Amino acid sequence: MPNNNKKNGKGGFPMIGLIVIAVLFFLGMLSGNLLYKTFFSAGEEEVSYNTFLTAVSDDAIRKAEISDTQISYFLRTEEEGKEGLLYYTNRLPDVDLTGVTRTMQKNGVEFSAAPVEDGSSSFLFGWIILPLLFFAGLMLLMRIVANRSGGGGGFGGIGSIGKSKAKVYMEKETGVTFRDVAGQDEAKESLVEIIDFLHNPKKYTAIGAKLPKGALLVGSPGTGKTLLAKAVAGEAHVPFFSISGSDFVEMFVGVGASRVRDLFKEAAKVAPAIIFIDEIDAVGRSRDSKFGGNDEREQTLNQLLAEIDGFDSSNGVVILAATNRPEILDKALLRAGRFDRRIIVDRPNLEGRYQTLLVHTRKIHLAEDVDLKKIAQATAGAVGADLANLVNEAALRAVRLGRRAVSQEDLLVSFETVIAGTEKKGTVLTDIEKRIVSYHEVGHALVAAMKKHSQPVSKITIVPHTSGALGYTMQMPEEEKFLNSKEELLIELQTLLGGRAAEQVVFGIQTTGAANDIQRATELARKMVTQYGMSDKIGLMALATAQNEYLEGKTYMDCAQTTADDADNEVRALLNTCYDGAKQVLLDNRSLLDEIALYLLEKETITGDDLMAFVNADTNRLPAGEETED
């Protein structure tokens, strides 16, 4: 078969060889026989002027070159076809070489004067010709690579820089349908209309309706936005173009815009199709920056806006995008006619977590004692990715222990591992440290047990874990709650401060073990004062604004400095009041505190049922008419 590489542009490597030869040729021409000396001379040797005169008189010189400062020559004794060793000596000043040149002429020596270098040729070659040759060779090489990789000609096609990096998934390759997405029923209902339109576009066009061109999936990380987009393509049985927003932005201005054009062009060829842009905030960030912007990113965004306006949604091309930072997106991107439909992909509720666990355990061998509803109840606030990780960790634990099925204990231990890390079996606490940790954890648990409307305690342990905790108290809610009253939040504050209160009541000391408790309590108290309007002094005034709602970002104070000082005083007073309340609960139940702490010190880990057995027994011992504190 004839070789057609030269015809399709893939046989360009010989041209690079020609360029290299040309560079060496120019280098040799401009540097005084450099090529000749390099390839045919065996080396150089400096000799004395007397040695040169002796060689002249003995007729030993075959070829010589005389310059103003140096005399170079070859001897006749070298073998035929090879110059051999080059001898040179410095020319003596004010010495007449007429006699020497006559002798060499008489002996038939080939000699000449060295060319005079004015420096202009070296400058021309070093600063103009050589860079141009190098750049030409580089461009040729990049063109060859572009042709071999299927890129087009021109700068935009070098190495496929301007080509879209979108991955095309057909229905059989995604393998994802709504059956694989659980806990997002509302989001799925919003996307069903898009699927129906892709299947039956005439039903909508007959009445004059137009489907929104773009839908924006918004939610916290791990909630399943990308999975939902793939499920839409799987349900609709259409090609699925998936690309990240960061793939559009490159160092070359104009490359991102070229990729946007290429992406929409490819999607139009196989319409109906779905274009999915993940993390669109990487390219769709607002352009209203007083500090200036990124020209490449802004050009890419402008091209994206133009492409969205330029295509007709009736052709069956639907754009889906995902982000967890909708507040920073450009307003032009969110206006009607572009991404005008926002679909919230929220954290799943109790039933959603249960359905998600069913999906992730579909291929897992479960033991008969597994109760996924209890696991769903314990994992309040977890997203789909968290639950998938929990199930996988439980399966790995079952394999490590040599079992063929995942048990309920595996799932609970995996959940605790996510919260506190694995147990640090090599950490050995002193006796006094173990006593302090025991009283600290029982302080949390006892305050929670003695208060109404608190979350029940499910486990207490004083075994150190890799998260840095020397022990922890786990509370498991009995039901899903979306609202909390001020009284419930105050009880939560007292529970958080119960560990420090127990240290003070029993030992009269303060330890570093309460650092995380104090941090969480301060954060909760500050929200009560600055966001929830639960301070009598501050009143119904929002002093703080949350940033990055779906990323659980920090809040910033939006008030006068004096008001911020008042808020700090309110937070401090609130914490002190709850701390005093926790201390009072422990003082009123000191004997019960000692009894449970000693039992925990012996067992190292006890359950919530063990705790309540002590509490109920103590309640039954109370004289008639006395009750525990509410």
- 2: Cβ–Cβ under 8 A, 6 or more apart, which residues? none
Type of residue numbered 347: R
528 CB neighbour count, 10 Å cutoff: 21
Rounded Cα–Cα distance for residues 332 and 268 (Å): 23
Rounded Cα–Cα distance for residues 244 and 167 (Å): 10
Q: Please, how many CA atoms are within 13 Å of residue 57, restricted to the half-sphere of its CB? A: 6
Known active-site residue 409? no
Query: For residues 384 and 357, is the Cβ–Cβ distance under 8 A?
Result: no
* Backbone φ and ψ of 77, nearest 5°: -75, -10
3-state DSSP call for residue 128?
A: helix
80 CB neighbour count, 10 Å cutoff: 4
* Backbone φ and ψ of 115, nearest 5°: -65, 145
117 CB neighbour count, 10 Å cutoff: 12
**What are the tokens at 93?**
């000043």
Sheet of strand 240-244: strand arrangement: 167-169, 240-244, 273-278, 317-323, 214-218, 341-344
Rounded Cα–Cα distance for residues 524 and 526 (Å): 5
Query: For residues 456 and 476, is the Cβ–Cβ distance under 8 A?
Result: yes
Distance of CA 478 to the CA centre of its chain: 36
Q: Which residues are bridge partners to 216 per DSSP?
A: 321, 342
**What are the tokens at 283?**
């390219």
Query: For residues 346 and 224, is the Cβ–Cβ distance under 8 A?
Result: no
Q: 167 to each of 150, 170, 173, 277, 373, how far by Cα in Å? A: 16, 10, 11, 11, 38
List 296, 307, 441, 503, catalytic entry? 441
- 233: Cβ–Cβ under 8 A, 6 or more apart, which residues? 169, 171, 174, 176, 239, 240, 274, 276
Query: For residues 252 and 304, is the Cβ–Cβ distance under 8 A?
Result: no
Q: Which residues are bridge partners to 74 per DSSP?
A: 63
Distance of CA 383 to the CA centre of its chain: 18
Rounded Cα–Cα distance for residues 509 and 432 (Å): 12
Residue of 466, 448, 424, 464 lying closest to 502 (CA atoms): 448
Query: For residues 388 and 420, is the Cβ–Cβ distance under 8 A?
Result: no
Query: For residues 599 and 432, is the Cβ–Cβ distance under 8 A?
Result: no
Residue of 72, 14, 78 lying closest to 47 (CA atoms): 72
Catalytic residues: 441
